[in-house]
Amino acid sequence: MKKKFINKKEAKSLITKLGDEFAVVKNPVYIHPEFELYPLAKKIKTVDKLVAAVMDMDGTTTTTELLCIHSLEFMVRKFSGKIDTQTWKGLNPKEDYPHIIGNSTTKHVEYLITKYSKSFKKNEVIKSFLFAAAWTLIFGKDNQRKSEVVMNLKSFNCQDLITDEYFKKIINLTTLLDEDKEQLSDYLFNKYKNYFSSLGFNDYVRLGIDVYYQRYHEILERIRLGESKFIAEELFGDPHKHLIEAMPGIPVMLPMIKGLVIEHHDLFFDYLLKAYEHKTGKTFSLTNLEKARKNFIELCQKFQVSPIKTAIVTSSIFYEADIVLREVFKVISNELNNLLPDSDFKRNLLKKFSDYNFYYDAIVTANDSSEIRLKPHRDLYSIALFKLNVAKEDFNKVIGFEDSESGTIAIRAAGIGLSIAVPFAETSGHNLKAATYVCKGGLPEVILKYNMFVNSK
């Protein structure tokens, strides 16, 4: 195709050549055009050999959705002034969760603003935004986030907040107590409330994003400092609740695809089996069980001969991914430590999991792209394939894992035909039509029932 500008008829004929299935990806309201059309890679049912695995972080590798949902709900609570569960029950899992998991933060916030803006109180919105902005500038660790906050302050002419004397005093504190928070909120609100004459939908979205991130990052920072137990108690009333865990099967699948499961196959297999039975409530018949065991050992041996490249592909920003992956690799190490008897094999394996950078060949986050190009757009997965140096003719030897609708679309939009959905409770309401397979039994099912879609010879 040499022409650079074509008419509708020519465009139609070109699009037809691109494939049989397309995804319609709606853009945020401030973007032209209203939507993009993505030709999707043809679904691939099985492969003879895999060369790479690309996978989502939240909801696929780890369970951080709990904290994200909490932070989104917190934003709605702040904007409406309904802080406790007596004044508002909270988000509706069935109705709301499909719209606030797995997409970009902008889309999640847009949905909530559209649905709940009737209950918002302008003064509460302004107050919570000003506090979130100040907190981000003082305690935030992500520079991109800080510059977005400054941009939002500028759009309301409040940028002198940064040079304010009171603000400068706070900047020297290492942490804010509840009464400090209240004082700061009141002070900023009284000083700047009149700068916000009228607020439109886009303003609500931008301010909502800042309030969401402030809450989420404040929690992550405390996790980084080792305060997980206190947060679990404060937010969920249970100090033993793990805020960040590995998704079922992850502690086996990750070492397996890197060819690291070379001993104790039975222990790894039984671990997977338990996870499968727990997740599905189903059991294997004796014949199927022995077949699955034999296949599992063969699969481990295949990966031992040809380990595959791996990438995490997340719409989260790097700051978040870094803390979450550190935490989840600690959890994986712990689980492997409990699973295996002491040996050189175990020590070598644990070394590999002492730092996620030893393990992954690429980490792709929202910082590698832009907020307007996150999943379901193909960009993050295309960047991952590029970083892993997978040739285009090998895209049909790549497997992608996602728990959400937009993620499964993004995988196929990037040219990967083996797009596996591993939904869990929070994403069970998603439309997963774009996925090649939907495995409700998660990764244990992918391995035990489907042999990771690798043909066994």
> Alpha-carbon distance 381 to 416, whole Å?
9
Which part of the chain contacts Mg ion (CB under 5 A), choosing from 74-82, 233-241, 400-408, 438-446? 400-408
Measuring CA to CA, which residue among 193, 80, 214, 192 is closest to residue 137?
Answer: 214
Could you give the angle at which helices 105-116 and 65-80 cross, rounded to 10 degrees? 40
Q: Is 98 in the site for Mg ion (CB under 5 A)?
A: no
Nearer to Mg ion, 368 or 403 (CB): 403
| Beta strand spans in 4-115 (E) | 22-26, 35-39, 52-55
> C-beta of 73: minimal distance to Mg ion in Å?
18
Q: How far is the CB of 266 from Mg ion (least distance, A)?
A: 32
Label the pairing between strands 437-438 and 418-421. parallel
CB of 325 to Mg ion, least distance (A): 14
Q: Which is nearer to Mg ion, 73 or 403 (CB)?
A: 403
Burial class for 151, CB neighbours closer than 10 Å (0-12, 13-18, 19+): exposed
> Rounded CA gap, 54 and 288, in Å?
29
* Closest CB 368 distance from Mg ion, rounded Å: 17
Tokens of 198: 């009228």
403 binds Mg ion (CB under 5 A): yes
SS3 call for 55: strand
96 binds Mg ion (CB under 5 A): no
Stretch of 86-94, 102-110, 174-182, 372-380 contacting Mg ion, by CB under 5 A: 102-110
Smallest separation (angstroms) from Mg ion to the CB of 410: 10
Q: Near Mg ion by CB under 5 A, which window of 38-46, 99-107, 244-252, 326-334? A: 99-107
Which range touches Mg ion (CB under 5 A), out of 155-163, 225-233, 253-261, 398-406? 398-406
Number of residues that bind Mg ion (CB under 5 A): 6
Smallest gap from residue 427 Cβ to Mg ion (A): 7
If the CB atoms of residues 184 and 254 are measured against Mg ion, the closer one turns out to be 254
Binding residues among 197-216 for Mg ion as defined by CB under 5 A = none
Nearer to Mg ion, 295 or 404 (CB): 404
- Cα separation, 265 vs 288, in Å, equals 17
Q: Which of 65, 68, 142, 62 is nearest to 329 (CA)?
A: 62
Smaller CB separation from Mg ion, 292 or 324: 324
Q: Which value, in Å, is the radius of gyration of the alpha carbons in the chain?
A: 24
Determine the Cα–Cα distance for residues 359 and 11; give it in Å rounded to an integer: 44
Give CA angle at 109 (103, 114), nearest 5°.
115
**Residue number closest to Mg ion, CB atom:** 59
Stretch that binds Mg ion, among 94-102, 164-172, 228-236, 305-313 (CB under 5 A): 94-102
Site for Mg ion, residues 34 to 63, rule: CB under 5 A: 56, 58-59
- Nearest distance in Å: CB 72, Mg ion: 14
Minimum separation from the CB atom of position 157 to Mg ion (A) = 38
* Cβ-based nearer residue to Mg ion, 292 or 432: 432
- In the complex, minimum distance from the CB of residue 56 to Mg ion, in angstroms, rounded to a whole number: 4
- For Mg ion, give the closer residue by CB, 315 or 333: 315
Query: CA 425 → CA 62, 63, 225, distances in Å?
Result: 13, 11, 29
Judged by CB, which is closer to Mg ion: 131, or 319? 319
First to last CA, the chain: 42
**Complete DSSP assignment for 159-225:** GGGGG-HHHHHHHT-SS--HHHHHHHHHHHHHHHGGG-----HHHHHHHHHHHHHHHHHHHHHHHHT
Task: Please enumerate, as own/partner, the contacts of 148-156 that have beta carbons within 8 Å and a separation of 24 or more.
Answer: 148/209, 148/210, 149/210, 152/206, 152/207, 152/210, 155/206, 156/192, 156/195, 156/196
192 vs 212 by CB, closer to Mg ion = 212
- Of residues 303, 307, 304, the one with CA closest to residue 388: 307
Q: How far is the CB of 102 from Mg ion (least distance, A)?
A: 5
Q: Which segment (25-33, 100-108, 158-166, 168-176) binds Mg ion by CB under 5 A?
A: 100-108
Span of 39-47, 96-104, 136-144, 205-213 interacting with Mg ion by CB under 5 A? 96-104
Q: Which residues sit at the interface with Mg ion, rule CB under 5 A? A: 56, 58-59, 102, 403-404
